[in-house]
Amino acid sequence: MKVLITDGVDPQCAQILKQNGFEVTEIPKISKEELKEIIGNFDKLIVRSATKVTAEIIELGKKLKLIGRAGAGVDNIDIEAATRNGIIVMNTPGGNTISAAEHTCGMMLAAARQIPQATAELKNGKWDKKKFMGVELDGKTLSIIGLGKIGREVAFRMQAFGMKTIAYDPMIPDEYAAHLNIALLPLHENFKQADFITIHSSLNESTRNLIANDTFALMKQGVIIVNCARGGIINEADLAEAIASGKVGAAALDVFETEPVQQDNPLLKLERVVATPHIAASTNEAQVKVAVQIAEQIVEWKQKGKLEGAVNASAVELAQTPGVRSYLALAEKLGATLAQLTAIQANKIVVTTSGEFLQKFSEVITAAALKGFLDIRQTKDTNYINVFTMAKETGITLEQKFEKENPDYTNLIRIELENGATKRMIGGTVFGDKELRIVMIDRFIVEFKPEGTIIIYNNIDQPGVIAQVTQLLLLHNLNVASIALSRDEEKKLAITAIVVDGGVTTTLLDEISTVNGVSDSTLLSL
């Protein structure tokens, strides 16, 4: 297992990995071209923020199984490309929380009291007390945009300064925020009420340019803004105009849309801007924490299959839960069976789980069903990480459903395939701990093990059909392992599944199809 570490990750990371049997190569400063040349030799890549793990790099990393980020942010990694290629992306949430929170608080104080500007003037021989009139934090309202670990730590510290804390985070329950003495408000109310705004959200399409001219218009005159999260969340040109006009009293920025920041950036020319070069997590303690954390997470994955910190592999993590493995195997078998039962293109796949035990495993069961289906339908490697992306790329619309209970089975998985008016369905369950069973196909209740070579056919429900089919099997020297039969409620149509020992030729299938009343004969290999 070969690991490449870039960006000057603390040496303890490599030390822990080596102690646990990994072969480690460290290149603290690596160019894009050099990375492209050597990435194909490594199973795992560990980076900080400097290395850009683009789709091109990922495609060249034919052996890559994991990309580790020694830090919280993963915007320098193409998550979609990694997911498409079945590569786990793992970060270290919480490792630099305290450092980032403390830097945010320091930046807030620096902006409010103009500490860097006053220091610079004093060192230049000027003593101008009136110029650097500041504002107190006590009694002011602080808006926290993004109430994750760092946001919560900032709230705790600034409450000690006497600040009233409000926040916006659609993922946090009101009760939890209230327990932290934080009022959750709509985004526009945060902008209207805040004297100070600090940003702690990730950068994505919904947060890009979140703070711009239209949101500045909602804010109080003289509001102070701090961003130690990600560049691009604030429109920098609009912020420069808002500071110049006095709408924004001051800004403290540790991050920029383009890094290293360009020297012609208008924000750097404004006196009321405090700026640092993306150093919120740059403390000795934080760098040791994230280095040790990412190494330990990788070791845990190797030794126990545990995926702590995996940002794109929730299905893989759920799959490690005891008791669910048999249902995952069943879901794959169901998907593979459905793919072989019909040749039609799947426009829509619906995966329904029934039973309280399966409720929390809906996502991973769906991943398993899709994997089974796509493994039959295409040659490209699929796994629980990339299967949702691959299904989308092949034009499949996915729907997941849950039923609290089924009248006939304690736990049941059903998969439906749709293409216009054409629909096929298959369902299965697990008896005991490991006995997988298919129990329904379309409108038929039919039970058999989904393993080995299976001939399935539909026929008119009339005497003599099964006798003629088994006679053909005898002529082809095939032994029958088991037979499952079922007919519809009207007793007009039937379905038969015959598990046989040995290979089935296309000639035999054709001969079965010529038996009077038989239709839709299919061979399953499971």
- Distance of alpha carbon 252 from the chain centroid: 31
β-pair type (141-145, 164-168): parallel
And the tokens for 413? 């998985």
DSSP of 106-173: HHHHHHHHTHHHHHHHHHTT---TGGG-----TT-EEEEE--SHHHHHHHHHHHTTT-EEEEE-TTS-
Q: Is 278 an annotated catalytic residue?
A: yes
Q: Report the alpha-carbon distance of residue 354 to residue 160 in Å, rounded.
A: 49
Q: Is 259 an annotated catalytic residue?
A: yes
Strand arrangement, sheet containing 44-47: 23-27, 2-6, 44-47, 66-69, 88-90
Residues in the chain: 526
Q: How far, CA to CA in Å, does 186 sit from each of 144, 190, 192, 220, 239?
A: 12, 6, 10, 16, 22
Tokens 């050597």 map to which residue? 38
Q: 252-281: buried (b, 16+ CB within 10 Å) or exposed (e) per residue? A: bbbbbbeeebeeebebeebebbbbbebebb
Strand arrangement, sheet containing 453-460: 479-487, 493-501, 453-460, 518-525
One of 259, 271, 356, 393 is an active-site residue; which one?
Answer: 259
One of 152, 230, 377, 424 is an active-site residue; which one?
Answer: 230
Instruction: Assess whether the previous peptide bond of 116 is cis (omega < 30° from 0).
Output: no
Three-state SS at 78: coil
Q: How many CA atoms lie within 13 A of 360 on its CB side?
A: 9
Three-state SS at 450: coil
One of 48, 84, 200, 278 is an active-site residue; which one?
Answer: 278
And the tokens for 483? 């037979």
Q: Report the alpha-carbon distance of residue 16 to residue 305 in Å, rounded.
A: 17
DSSP of 252-284: EES--SSSSPPTT-GGGG-TTEEE-SS-TT-SH
Tokens 């383009």 map to which residue? 258
- Counting Cβ atoms within 10 Å, is residue 480 exposed (0-12), middle (13-18) or buried (19+)? middle
Q: How far apart are the first and last CA of the chain?
A: 32
- Distance of alpha carbon 506 from the chain centroid: 43
- Residues 6 or more apart whose Cβ sits within 8 Å of residue 514: none
Q: 377-402: buried (b, 16+ CB within 10 Å) or exposed (e) per residue? A: beeeebbbbbbbbbbeeeebebeeee
Residues carrying an active site annotation: 230, 259, 278
